Amino acid sequence: MKKESFVDSVIRWNDERCLKDFNKGNEYYMLKEELTEFVDADIEHDMIDALCDIIVVAVGSINKLGYNVDVAMNETLKEIHSRTGAINNQTGKFEKDKNVKTYKANYSVAENFYE
């Protein structure tokens, strides 16, 4: 028997609770709540919990919009991996080179995947 992926598990969890309709305001509220938990966390365990909850909300949101999460995520990763740039020594953030044309995620390949 194939082990259920975490994406499938999140989708099943939402389905079992009849959480199938996308509402931008509700999704925003849940993400904001989890981000606040992350910011307020004093211990690493609580930060991990909040970050994982953010992923769960995001996976559910993408699915509710009718997109295949795995396909959409692969498109995002293709775009990210095509970027070039450097780490900003002041912020520690990777800054993409805006003069280099990169792959643009094509989310239409993930749209209406379940129909």
Geometric angle at alpha carbon 69, from 60 and 3, rounded to 5°: 90
Q: Is the dihedral of CA 78, 84, 85, 86 positive or negative?
A: positive
For position 112, what pLDDT does the model report? 78
For position 1, what pLDDT does the model report? 77
Residue 19: phi, psi to the nearest 5? -95, 75
- SS3 labels along 90-107: CCCCEEECCCCCCCCCCH
**pTM score, two decimals?**
0.88
User: Where residue 101 falls among pLDDT bands split at 50, 70, 90?
Assistant: confident
For position 114, what pLDDT does the model report? 61
For position 2, what pLDDT does the model report? 81
Q: Where does residue 1 rank: exposed (0-12), middle (13-18), buried (19+ CB within 10 A)?
A: exposed
